[in-house]
Amino acid sequence: MYKPTLDYAQQQDKEDKLAHLRAQFHIPKDAKGNDWLYFTGNSLGLQPKQTQQYIQQELDDWAKYGVEGHFEARNPWMPYHEFLTNSMAKIVGAKPIEVVVMNTLTTNLHLLMVSFYQPSKTKYKIVIESDAFPSDRYAVQSQLKFHGFDTEEGLIEWKPREGEELLRIEDLEKIVDEQGDEIALLLIGGVNYYTGQYLDIKRIAEIGHAKNCMVGIDLAHGAGNISPELHDSGVDFAAWCTYKYLNSGPGSLAGLFVHEKHAHNKELPRFAGWWNHNKETRFNMRQPFDVMPGAEGWQLSNPPILSMAAIRASLDMFEEVGMEALRAKSEKLTGYFEYLINQIDTDRIKIITPSNPKERGCQLSIQVQHADKSLHKKLTENNIITDWREPDVIRCAPVPMYNSFKDVYRMVEILKTLL
């Protein structure tokens, strides 16, 4: 049973088997040297202290070997992306053949839609959440337009019911049941960026596939946060960024998943480059294109090693701890946060994120009636870093890697005074 006291929070931190991880991150500090209360890992994760060492290793090898670093570096650059595959596959619940780290999120979504959005004159529509992250909306609208379809007619929105904030899976089922013969693709955010709702990915795949629709998932707010079990879900493809919960640094590379059932289908349309060509003959230079099997078959160019070094620094921490332990702490930490928010004696506050821990990650979206961005500014002035979303929502993500129960307690105490 949770308790609304500082002593309780400090005791939980003493008993936390992952508490030591906090010391392995750089925690931003104020002018007096005090730690900020950082709750925006859902936008940009904090920097692991070992990241600098990992990047410096590649800089040193570049200086020492020049081009020969592709083969002679301590971590040879030629196969460098392969060093990330197994760890990343574990995080998203995939087989290694299904995962590759490459490009950035929206670029990967477009490359995947080249293969998995194959509209006909009658089956061409795309389903997204009504409050999908804007980049997903822009991406699918541009795909519709590129293929010659009207963006308003071709885009179907899965909406919450009147007066509700959360999506209901039965409403998606109704949409696909009634319009499935016209729907070519479902592209859904696995965890909604605004509400923090974790959707039933496997059920979404079943609904789409029942009407011969392709199903893709944007896991920008899911990878490193929840356990999506992508292989078992049966979705056709997924993509995610690594700079949020995966702590790889601003604008770092993204991840891509293509289900094993598509791994050896060389007839799938796709864009080509020399990095998705057979690695055994890649440097022959005069061979006809021979696409690699699995997710690697969607690569185009040789990868940026310095970004991958930062990703490897973070993934090594995930490998050490494991998603099961992180999820267990996340559910407890976020549950404590929810409990404290609900203890505030005001009717102005409402948590719009699902209360069921299985239907959310570590983000809580707190709606504050009659508030504006000045509340967010006041939080910032009190060294609390959260994320404001119009019109009246504060997004807070106590990340199990580096946030503590004491962080959560202090944040809520300050929020109470501001209200």
pLDDT of res. 278: 84
The verdict on residue 50 lying in a domain is no
The total domain count for the chain is 2
Say if residue 247 is in the same domain as residue 130.
yes
Domain end point (choices 274, 298, 319) = 319
pLDDT of res. 345: 86
User: Do 210 and 232 touch, CB atoms closer than 8 A?
Assistant: no
Alpha carbons within 13 angstroms on the beta-carbon side of residue 236 total: 22
Domain end point (choices 255, 288, 319) = 319
- How far is the CA of 180 from the CAs of 49, 156, 158, 183, 199, in angstroms? 49, 11, 13, 5, 20
Query: Exposed, middle or buried, 76 (CB in 10 Å: 0-12/13-18/19+)?
Result: middle
Q: Give the position of tokens 């007066």.
A: 163
Domain extent, residue 394, equals 6-42+322-418
CA distance 75 to 115: 32
pLDDT of res. 358: 93
Say if residue 141 is in the same domain as residue 210.
yes
Say if residue 121 is in the same domain as residue 177.
yes
Q: What is the domain-level CATH number for residue 352? A: 3.90.1150.10
pLDDT digits (tens, 9 = 90+) for 77-103: 999 999 999 999 999 999 999 999 999
Say if residue 11 is in the same domain as residue 160.
no
Domain end point (choices 255, 285, 319) = 319
The verdict on residue 183 lying in a domain is yes
Region of 389 please: left (phi>0), alpha (psi -120 to 50) or beta.
Answer: beta
Q: What is the domain-level CATH number for residue 268? A: 3.40.640.10
Q: Where are the alpha helices (DSSP H) in 180-304?
A: 201-209, 230-233
pLDDT of res. 286: 81
pLDDT of res. 392: 87
pLDDT of res. 249: 97
What element of type H or E holds 394? strand 393-396
Say if residue 210 is in the same domain as residue 69.
yes
pLDDT of res. 115: 98
Say if residue 248 is in the same domain as residue 108.
yes
The verdict on residue 379 lying in a domain is yes
pLDDT of res. 360: 97
One-character DSSP codes across 124-141: -EEEEETT--HHHHHHHH
Residues contacting 395, CB < 8 A, separation 6+: 40, 42, 194, 196, 363, 364, 365, 366, 386, 387, 388, 389
Say if residue 87 is in the same domain as residue 165.
yes
Q: Nearest to residue 248, comparing CAs of 399, 99, 45?
A: 45
Give rounded-to-5 percent helix, strand, coil for the chain. 45, 15, 40
Say if residue 196 is in the same domain as residue 286.
yes
Say if residue 391 is in the same domain as residue 274.
no
Q: Nearest to residue 350, comparing CAs of 373, 372, 335, 366?
A: 366
CA distance 365 to 363: 6
Terminal Cα-to-Cα distance of the chain (whole angstroms): 26
pLDDT digits (tens, 9 = 90+) for 325-338: 999 999 999 999 99
What element of type H or E holds 156? strand 155-158
The verdict on residue 51 lying in a domain is no
CA distance 102 to 324: 25
- Per-residue pLDDT tens listing for the chain (419 residues): 899 999 999 999 999 999 999 999 999 998 889 899 999 999 999 999 999 999 999 999 999 999 999 999 999 999 999 999 999 999 999 999 999 999 999 999 999 999 999 999 999 999 999 999 999 999 999 999 999 999 999 999 999 999 999 999 999 999 999 999 999 999 999 999 999 999 999 999 999 999 999 999 999 999 999 999 999 999 999 999 999 999 999 999 999 999 999 999 999 999 999 888 888 888 787 888 889 999 999 999 999 999 999 999 999 999 999 999 999 999 999 999 999 999 998 888 999 999 999 999 999 999 998 888 888 899 999 999 999 888 889 999 999 999 999 999 999 999 999 88
Say if residue 16 is in the same domain as residue 82.
no
Whether the upstream peptide bond of residue 4 has omega within 30° of 0, thus cis, is: no
Q: What is the pTM of this model?
A: 0.95
Say if residue 385 is in the same domain as residue 251.
no
DSSP state for residue 298 in the 8-state scheme = G
CA distance 310 to 306: 7
Token duo for residue 18: 């992952």
Say if residue 197 is in the same domain as residue 313.
yes
